[in-house]
Structure formats: structure tokens, C-alpha cells
Chains A and B, each alone.
Chain A
């Protein structure tokens, strides 16, 4: 799963720590999501979407293989 978390965070000039505080997770978790090493749970993905005021599918993009029917 790819995501646009780093771009969205940069657009708002937020640090990883600030985003982590907003989401109630650790900075390491934000970093792991941004680098694609960890895919968040659905509740956390919805929380991320809420924090960025964006639709969840505009933040998280499935890999081509996994999105194929």
C-alpha cells in the first residue's frame, strides 16, 4: 500500500511528532507509515483522513497488483 502522508504533512508544515500527537500514536509509527513499512489499521487510516480533512482513498493508494480485480 502506498500513501501520500509525507506530501500532505509537508504541505501543512507539520513535523512527524506533531502529526503523531494529532493521531495519538508514536512518531515511529508515523515514520513507518510514511516509509511504507507499516500499513495502518482501518480506524487509524480513518483518523489520518480526518486529520487531513481528505478522503481516505486520496491518501492511501493500493499497489497495482493488490488493486487488480
Chain B
């Protein structure tokens, strides 16, 4: 790995993990205090606050992918495609099961589901090109 690419990876890891750290803190603050906030607009602001570090983390991810070489970018593309297909299939299947009486799936779970599927996609694509 070139020194330039190593520096890009280190920068990405620091910024991504920092953003996720801020996200974790904001999620805890939001979860514990949203019921005590009175005006609706206050609740809305508090609920949307954790989106800011998520946006920062995702923009860092995109910047990092841009610094990768062509095979690594293809690997990321295949991982995202795998995650998209799996998330669509699972959420659609669950939606159909809801009609059969299964409990409602909270929409907030779609992002963690996509992230887990993306992790699986990276593992699968990495194995393919090893």
C-alpha cells in the first residue's frame, strides 16, 4: 500500500470513528431526553440530531472509496450491491409477513440491516478476489 493510500486510510478511520463516537453520544442523549422536551419542533430537532454525524461518516466513507484503486472500488460496489439486494429482499419479505400478522418492523432498523448486509458483502467480495 502506498504511503498516500495509508494516510488516506488512517484519516478515514479517525474521522469515521470520531463521527460514530459523536453519533453514539447523541443517540444516548436523544433517547434519554426526547420525552422531556416539550415543543414538537424541539422533539424533531433532537430526533434528527444524530443524522449529522451519520452524514459526516458517510461523506468520509465516500471520500475514502474515491481514494481506492480500481479493484477495491469494484469490491465496494459489489458489497453495496449485495447489501442493496439483501436489504430489499428481507424488508420486502418482512412486509409481506406483516400482512400475515407478523409484528411491524421499525423503519429505523433498515439502516443497521443494510450495514450488516454491507459487511457481509465486503467479506464475500474480498474472498472472491483473494
Residues of A within 8 A of B (CB): 17, 20-21, 24-29, 31-32, 37-38, 40-41, 44
Size of chain B's interface in residues, with CB distance under 8 A?
A: 12
Residues of B within 8 A of A (CB): 1-2, 5, 68-72, 74, 128-130
Alpha-carbon gap, A20 to B1, bound state (A): 7
B70 partner, pick from A17, A20, A31, A41, beta carbons under 8 A = A41
Q: Is the interface of A mostly helix, strand, loop or mixed?
A: helix
**Quick check: A44 and B1 within 8 Å, CB to CB?**
no
26 A-B contact pairs sorted by A residue (CB < 8 Å): A17-B1, A20-B1, A21-B2, A24-B69, A25-B69, A25-B71, A26-B1, A26-B71, A26-B72, A28-B71, A28-B72, A28-B129, A28-B130, A29-B69, A29-B70, A29-B71, A31-B130, A32-B129, A32-B130, A37-B128, A37-B129, A37-B130, A38-B71, A38-B129, A40-B70, A44-B70
Q: Which residues of B contact A32 (CB under 8 A)?
A: 71, 129-130
